[in-house]
């Protein structure tokens, strides 16, 4: 049941490995860094493409679907 609720709310299990990436993004953004700089730095640090970083940021910023929670 828990996995079904997570799936219904849009959570992808493979994204769990990128939670630290988003935490770093939030911290750097709070420190006043520009998004394009943050993306380049996180891309290098986590070994993923810049497009993947943008995609992850967008996904993590979305709220959960209320009916699934």
Please list the pLDDT of the chain residue by residue as tens digits (69 residues).
887 887 787 777 788 889 899 999 999 999 999 999 999 999 999 999 999 999 999 988 875 555 444
pLDDT at 11: 73
Show the domain range for 50: 2-68
pLDDT at 68: 46
Number of domains in the chain: 1
CA–CA separation, 37 vs 24, rounded Å? 12
Distance of CA 20 to the CA centre of its chain: 9
Question: Can you give the pTM of this predicted structure?
Answer: 0.76
Query: How high is the pLDDT of residue 3?
Result: 78
What pLDDT does 69 receive? 47
């Amino acid at each position: 049941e828990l996995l079904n609720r997570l799936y219904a709310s849009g959570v992808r299990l493979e994204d769990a490995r990128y939670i630290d990436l988003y935490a770093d993004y939030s911290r750097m953004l709070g420190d006043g860094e520009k998004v394009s700089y943050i993306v380049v730095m996180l891309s290098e640090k986590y070994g993923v493409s810049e497009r993947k970083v943008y995609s992850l940021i967008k996904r993590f910023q979305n709220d959960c679907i209320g009916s699934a929670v």
